[in-house]
Amino acid sequence: DTGVSQNPRHKITKRGQNVTFRCDPISEHNRLYWYRQTLGQGPEFLTYFQNEAQLEKSRLLSDRFSAERPKGSFSTLEIQRTEQGDSAMYLCASSPRGSSLNEQFFGPGTRLTVL
Amino acid sequence: AQSVTQLGSHVSVSEGALVLLRCNYSSSVPPYLFWYVQYPNQGLQLLLKYTSAATLVKGINGFEAEFKKSETSFHLTKPSAHMSDAAEYFCAVSLNTGANSKLTFGKGITLSVRP
């Protein structure tokens, strides 16, 4: 399968713990996005990478959130000191180099439950 | 800035009936528009996209949508619903500027198909 992959698919953690999610985009896609989706809502933009550079962060991304994309390949999203309000589906998407159509390909998501 | 409004959270149709899911957008520049489908516990799959070419766009699984600038709408239709169409549908907009192409989603509509 050559689509976007995300790991883990599910994560249950206790409040106050740190968690890290990984996203592997489609090979040679240089744009990578993270979104958060809470129950009954559409996905909301969190952050965007072009290659290894993080070019935009949403105000939704508090100081407890950090994302990286070393070497412009996979990306990680870390949440420190998790809160119950962080419970959501975290979606990753990638877009091909030179795409003028803004089409994004989504992974299956990581569902986070904070107890 | 851009936004999407999807009126109503739930639509129910009989198998074989017309499907109509409404989407209105707001954008300061000519937009790209998308419809995505999401099945339970899965990521988003692109149904179709409008990128300033033809105003009537055909997508996968028999869906199509028509871009109407005067009405700022991009409604999704399918002539005959199938049981497998039951899912959540999201309309999304991105800016046609070549810059950060983050997607802004509506809240989504759950489609139920009755036998």
**Which pLDDT tens digit goes with each residue over B43-90?**
899 999 998 778 899 999 999 999 999 999 999 999 999 999 999 999
By CB atoms closer than 10 A (0-12, 13-18, 19+), residue A28 is exposed
Note whether B43 contacts A56, CB cutoff 8 Å: no
Closest approach of B106 to chain A, Cα-based (Å): 6
Question: If DSSP codes are grouped into helix, strand and coil, which group holds residue B85?
Answer: helix
- C-alpha A26/C-alpha A68 separation (Å) is 17
DSSP SS3 for A15: coil
Identify the closest residue of chain A to B108 by CA–CA distance: A42
Query: CA–CA separation, A99 vs A85, rounded Å?
Result: 35
Residue A34: strand pairing partners:
A47, A92
Interface test with chain B among A102, A104, A112, A113, by most B beta carbons within 10 Å = A102
- Chain B partners of A35 at a C-beta cutoff of 8 Å? 103
Length of chain A: 115
How would you write the pLDDT of chain A (115 residues) with one tens digit per residue? 579 999 999 999 999 999 999 999 999 888 999 999 998 899 999 999 999 999 889 988 889 999 999 988 999 999 999 999 999 999 999 988 766 567 899 999 999 999 9
Res A98: pLDDT: 67
CB A67 within 8 A of CB A47: yes
* pLDDT over 90 percentage in chain B: 73
B21-28 average pLDDT score: 92
Q: Tell me whether residues A102 and B107 touch, CB distance under 8 A.
A: no
Interface of A with B (CB under 8 A): 4, 6, 31, 33, 35, 40-45, 48, 55-56, 91, 93, 95, 99-109, 111
Q: How far is A15 from chain B (nearest CA, A)?
A: 23
Instruction: Compute the nearest-CA separation of A22 from chain B (Å).
Output: 15
| Chain A neighbors of B51, CB-CB under 8 A | 101-102
Phi/psi of residue B89, each to 5°? Answer: -120, 130
The pairing of strands A110-114 and A10-13 is: parallel
How many Å apart are CA B59 and CA B21, to the nearest integer? 14
Cβ-based neighbours of B94, under 8 Å, separated by 6 or more: A102, B2, B31, B32, B34, B101, B102, B103, B104
